[in-house]
Amino acid sequence: VTGGSRGIGAAIARKLASKGADIAIVYSSDDNAASAVCEEIKKDFSVNCRFYRCDVSDFEEAKKTVAAIKNDFGSIYILVNNAGITRDGLSAMMSEEDFRRVIDVNLVGAFNMTRHCIAGFIRQRGGRIINITSISGLMGNAGQANYSASKAGLIGLTKAIARELAPRGITCNAIAPGFILTDMTKDLAQQDEIKSRIPLGSIGSAEDVASAAAYLVEASYVTGEVLRVDGGLAM
Q: Known catalytic residues?
A: 147
The contact mask relative to ligand NDP for 101-120 (x = CB under 6 A, - = no) is ----x---x-----------
> 29 vs 190, which CB is nearer to ligand NDP?
29
Q: Does residue 65 bind ligand NDP (CB under 6 A)?
A: no
Stretch of residues binding ligand NDP (CB under 6 A), selected from 112-120, 155-163, 177-185, 216-224: 177-185
> 133 vs 223, which CB is nearer to ligand NDP?
133
CA angle, 205 as apex, 199 and 206 as ends, to 5°?
135
Among 66, 107, 113, 132, binds ligand NDP (CB under 6 A): 132
Contact yes or no for 173/121 (Cβ under 8 A):
no
Quote the least distance from Cβ 214 to ligand NDP, whole Å. Answer: 16
Among 5, 144, 171, 173, binds ligand NDP (CB under 6 A): 5
Quote the least distance from Cβ 83 to ligand NDP, whole Å. Answer: 3
Q: Does residue 164 bind ligand NDP (CB under 6 A)?
A: no
Stretch of residues binding ligand NDP (CB under 6 A), selected from 92-100, 118-126, 159-167, 172-180: 172-180
Q: Does residue 46 bind ligand NDP (CB under 6 A)?
A: no
Q: Does residue 184 bind ligand NDP (CB under 6 A)?
A: yes
Q: Which of 51, 81, 82 is nearest to 68 (CA)?
A: 51
Q: Residues interacting with ligand NDP, by CB under 6 A?
A: 2-3, 5-9, 26-30, 33, 54-57, 82-85, 105, 109, 132, 134, 177, 179-180, 182-185
